[in-house]
Structure 1
Amino acid sequence: MSGLVITVAQQKGGAGKTTLAVNLAVALLREGRSVALLDTDPQGSLGRWFMQRREALGEAGLEFSTSSAWGVSYECEKLRKQVDVVIIDTPPKVDSDLRPALREADLILVPVAASHVDLWATEGVLDLARREGKRPKIVLNRTKSKTRLGDQVRDAATQLEADLVEVTLGHRVVFAETLGQGLGVLEAPRKGAGHAEVTALLHALLNLE
């Protein structure tokens, strides 16, 4: 799995891109993988999480870098040689600036909160990915179990030119709490449903045993 690049992209803000990126990173660390985070979003949420993590733990345990959209290829070339997995967090927009991050990706993840608006917002990302010859995976985020809306969004997602990941992340306070602390859900004091979801998601995405 050396040098794997995962790009997290979604046109709509607030879909959970950074939450997904950091929780996958922490899950990979706990699997013994080396990880680098690459933040291309000018909002810098991933960078703030990283600095909070250093302050909380003393040592982040992973690499962190920032890049302009068009510097992604250069940064990925360097980071691929240093770590097992590079995770790229992208801005909430879809234009030509996103294409380098999609082009470099071995795996493209599109987080979708449980709403039709979020689902509609995936169309631009999926179109750009198709132009790069890539087929993204949709990860349903902030889902509420046994709701009609959740079922409708899941059904609609299966009609898109992407693969729907069966494992979903629930609408849980622990995701926001740990993010603000510079941690991942797997580092929360108590193991709960979020812990199980993140672990299952990582294994579903990367076929880990």
Structure 2
Amino acid sequence: MTGHILTVAQQKGGSGKTTLTAHVASGFLNGIVQGLPKGLRVAILDVDPQGSLGTWYEARERKLGEETTGITLRTASGWGARREAKALARDHDFVIIDTPPKTDVDARPAIDAAELVLVPVQPTPVDLWATGQTFQMAKREDTPAFLILNRVPPRAALTVDVEEAIRAQGLERLAPMLGNRTGFAASMGEGLTVFETDPRGKAAAEAASLMQAIAALLGPKGD
């Protein structure tokens, strides 16, 4: 059996890719998705030269101990990302790839390797305009891509402008949204996620709804 490969991609910087990557990995690890057991084998692949995901992982090792993070970390660049992701999928249930912004060189192989691309974006027309290139890249690689609205202001409904921008670009988005909550950043600073620092909080509830939507897009994997 081979595992699922999911790639988090966004050409625009500052969209929250690393936070999303860590939370998706932690969600699968901690049994957040209904119908999936706790303790699945999860790997993260850091393709971003900035190394933010690796920094989070090092904080996790300090917090939990090197042998008890529950998640495997690997790094790669260029077309090595595709090879590394496929190798990880042979002995992990889920592989989540974090990609760099503003470059096709590293993002394209990661998108090619994936069965699903998650595209975080802040809910403004300007941010959405910058997202089209990521979806075009996914289309060229014949990989389904879905928009995830991130850092949504509290109690703020989507504006007409944002809804129109999404429709105008023909983008598909997942219904659950992640709010602009301090819990996400605070948990990342500890090498954890909101599933681990505040599992009953609002941020964890939002992230759990998103996990359920992501899992619903994934079919069973075979050899």
TM-score range, shorter-chain basis?
over 0.9
Alignment of 1:56-205 (within 5 A): 56-58=63-65, 59-147=68-156, 150-189=159-198, 191-205=200-214
Is residue 50 of structure 2 the alignment partner of residue 43 of structure 1? yes
Which structure 1 residue ranges, 4+ long, deviate > 6 Å from structure 2? none
Alignment of 1:16-27 (within 5 A): 16-27=16-27
**Match of 1:163, SS?**
coil
Aligned to 1:14: 14
**TM-score normalised according to structure 1 size:** 0.93
Q: CA deviation at 1:159?
A: 3.4
- The Cα offsets for residues 81-110 of structure 1, whole Å up to 9 and x where unpaired, read as 110000000001142432111111111000
Extract unaligned runs of 5+ from structure 1: none
- Larger mean Cα displacement after TM superposition, 113-122 or 173-182: 113-122
C-alpha contact 1:135 1:162 (8 A) present in aligned 2: no
Q: CA deviation at 1:162?
A: 3.1
- Larger mean Cα displacement after TM superposition, 125-134 or 49-58: 125-134
Matched residue type, 1:18? T
- 1:175 and 1:130 map into 2 onto residues whose CA distance is 30
Q: CA deviation at 1:149?
A: 5.8
- The Cα offsets for residues 27-61 of structure 1, whole Å up to 9 and x where unpaired, read as 10011221100000000000000010010011211
Matched residue type, 1:56? K
- 2:126 and 2:187 map into 1 onto residues whose CA distance is 26
- 1:52 and 1:166 map into 2 onto residues whose CA distance is 31
- 1:104 and 1:140 map into 2 onto residues whose CA distance is 23
C-alpha contact 1:135 1:161 (8 A) present in aligned 2: no
Aligned to 1:207: 216
**TM-score normalised according to structure 2 size:** 0.87
Matched residue type, 2:206? E
C-alpha contact 2:28 2:42 (8 A) present in aligned 1: yes
Q: CA deviation at 1:146?
A: 4.3
Q: CA deviation at 1:150?
A: 4.5
C-alpha contact 2:47 2:106 (8 A) present in aligned 1: no
1:25–1:35: structure 2 CA closer, same or farther, 3 Å change rule?
same
Matched residue type, 1:207? A
- 1:176 and 1:52 map into 2 onto residues whose CA distance is 13
- The Cα offsets for residues 97-141 of structure 1, whole Å up to 9 and x where unpaired, read as 321111111110000012222211111111111111123100000
May I ask how many residue pairs the two structures share in their alignment?
Answer: 208
- 1:190 and 1:108 map into 2 onto residues whose CA distance is 26
